[in-house]
Amino acid sequence: MVTSASDTTVDAGAEKRFFIEMLTKDIELLPAIVDLVDNSVDGARGLHPDGDLSGQWVKIEFGDDSFTISDNSGGISVDVARHYAFRFGRSKDFTGVKRSVGQFGVGMKRAIFKIGRAFAVQSAHRGEASADDGSRFSLNVDVEQWAVQQEWTFQFERVEEGVALATDEEAGTVISVTKLHPSVQDDLKDPAIVQALRTELRVRHQESIQSGLQLHLNSDKPLVASRPSLQASDVIQPVFKEFQVPGANGGTVDVKLYAGTVAPRKRDKDSDPEDEGQAENFQDPGDAGWYLFCNDRLLLVADRTSLTGWGNPAAAYHPQYRSFRGFVYLSADDAGLLPWNTTKTAVDRDSPVFRAVQSEMKTVLVAVQAVINRAKQVRARLEDEEPKPDILVALDETPDKPITSLTASSSMVTPPSPPAKPKAPPTPKVQRIQYVVDPDKFEEVAEALGASSGSEVGRLTFDYFYEQEIG
- Which value, in Å, is the radius of gyration of the alpha carbons in the chain? 34
pLDDT tops 90 at residue 345: no
> CATH number of the domain at 16-91+103-217, please?
3.30.565.10
Q: Give the C-alpha separation, 348 to 339, whole Å.
A: 5
List of E strands, 247-296? 252-261, 289-294
DSSP 470: I
User: Is domain 229-267+285-405 in CATH 1.10.260, yes or no?
Assistant: no
How far apart are alpha carbons 379 and 103 in whole angstroms?
49
Burial class, 130, CB count within 10 angstroms (exposed 0-12 / middle 13-18 / buried 19+): exposed
Cα torsion 206, 210, 212, 217 to 10°: value is: 40
More confident residue, 130 or 184: 184
Strands 134-142 and 324-331: unpaired
State the pLDDT confidence band at 378, using cuts at 50, 70 and 90: very high
What pLDDT sits at residue 273?
A: 41
Q: What is the pLDDT of residues 79-101, one digit of tens each?
A: 989 988 888 776 666 566 666 67
pLDDT tens sequence across 146-166: 999 989 999 999 999 999 998
Q: Name the β-bridge partners of 229.
A: 402
DSSP string, 346-363: SB-TT-HHHHHHHHHHHH
Average pLDDT, the chain: 88
**Cα dihedral across residues 29, 34, 35, 39: positive or negative:** positive
Confidence of residue 57 (pLDDT cuts 50, 70, 90): very high
DSSP 26: G
What type of residue is 25?
A: K
Say which range, 18-27, 199-208, 385-394, has the weakest mean pLDDT. Answer: 18-27
Asked, colleague to colleague, whether 16-91+103-217 and 229-267+285-405 share their fold, the answer is: no
Residue 334 carries which DSSP code? Answer: S
Q: Is the pLDDT of residue 277 over 70?
A: no
Q: In which band, very low, low, confident or very high, does the pLDDT at 174 lie, cut at 50, 70 and 90? A: very high
pLDDT at 6: 65
Query: Tell me, what amino acid is at 29?
Result: L
Residue 134 has pLDDT above 50, yes or no: yes
Task: Determine the average pLDDT of the residues in 439-467.
Answer: 87
Looking at residue 99, its pLDDT comes to 66
Please return the burial class of 129, using the count of CB atoms within 10 Å of its CB with bins 0-12, 13-18 and 19+. Answer: exposed
pLDDT at 390 over 50: yes
Contact 124, 75 (CB under 8 A): yes
Cα 128 to chain centroid, rounded: 37
Q: DSSP of 201-226, one letter per residue?
A: HHHHTHHHHHTT-EEEESSSSPP---
> CB–CB of 407/271 below 8 Å?
no
List CB contacts of 25: < 8 A, sequence separation 6 or more: none
Please write the tens of the pLDDT for every residue from 182-196. 999 999 999 999 999
Sketch the domain layout of the chain as residue ranges.
16-91+103-217, 229-267+285-405, 439-470
Across the beta sheet with 214-217, the strand order is 156-163, 134-142, 116-125, 173-180, 66-71, 57-62, 214-217
Number of residues that make up the chain:
471
**Is the model more confident about 428 or about 232?**
232
Q: What is the mean pLDDT of residues 228-238?
A: 96
| Mean pLDDT confidence for 233-255 | 93
pLDDT (mean) for 228-232: 96
Do residues 75 and 46 touch, judged by C-beta distance below 8 A?
no
Q: Is the pLDDT of residue 423 over 60?
A: yes
Antiparallel, parallel or unpaired: β 173-180 and 116-125: antiparallel
Report the number of secondary-structure helices (H) and strands (E) in the chain.
12, 14
